[in-house]
Amino acid sequence: MRIGNRTEGEDDSHCIEKYAFKGVFHVSGGSGMWYVLQNEVSQSAKILSMKNAQEKLQAAMSYAMAHRPPVGGFPFLAACLRQAGVQKNIWTLPGAQSIYMMQDGVVVNQMTPLVLGMQDVPPFSEEALMAALRTDQAGQSTFPEFLMASWKAGVIGYEVDFIARTVVYYGAQGEAYTESYGAVAVADLTF
């Protein structure tokens, strides 16, 4: 695949800094494909700001994964993301798409969808969601397992508010469950 005047696998940074685009452009990043969104990018400074948002997000995630406690890891991850300038994180299920609303821009991360083809949406079950949350908080599930358990509990999306320190889980029929989490201090992470 060619992007601009270079071949995939070459350094993407010069392409992002040199050209102004409208819409979506690709940035390669450690654990997968990242796409940086901007309604209209007309100045290189805006493009660099978006690049920095993605880099900050990736650095915060890497730091959190390397240093988080095995039990109760989400509040630590949330503190790292908040420190990187993430204000909100919006997940859609079963598509496993995550939008990060940051001070420096908006970044989307597309993970592997949880289901393929046409599927019935499971009915919302607060009890099943609570079980998925408690299993994850106890360090007894991986993140993909948590997403699948949430989907099976009827969650079609959730929104993390890093300022208010809340997570709202949504069902297909307008159901909602809100959970708060505590503040955690993060040392040695600066941007």
pLDDT digits (tens, 9 = 90+) for 35-56: 444 343 344 344 444 468 999 9
Instruction: Please write the tens of the pLDDT for every residue from 125-169.
Output: 999 999 999 999 999 999 999 999 999 999 999 999 999 999 999
Q: Please report the pLDDT score of residue 188 as a whole number.
A: 80
Instruction: State the pLDDT at residue 119.
Output: 96
Q: Has residue 174 got a pLDDT over 90?
A: yes
Give pTM, 2 decimals: 0.73
Match domain 52-180 to its CATH number in 3.10.150.10, 3.40.50.460, 3.30.1810.10, 3.40.50.720.
Answer: 3.30.1810.10
Alpha carbon of 147 to those of 28, 33, 35, 58, 182: distances in Å? Answer: 24, 19, 21, 20, 21
Model pLDDT, residue 191:
76
1-38: per-residue pLDDT in tens?
A: 333 333 444 444 433 332 333 333 333 333 333 344 43
Q: Which residues of 5-30 are buried (b: 16+ CB within 10 A; e: fewer)?
A: eeeeeeebeebbeeeeeeeebebebe
Of 30 and 69, more confident: 69
* The pLDDT of residue 51: 60
Least Cα distance to 189 among 50, 83, 53 occurs for 83
Tell me what pLDDT residue 189 has.
82
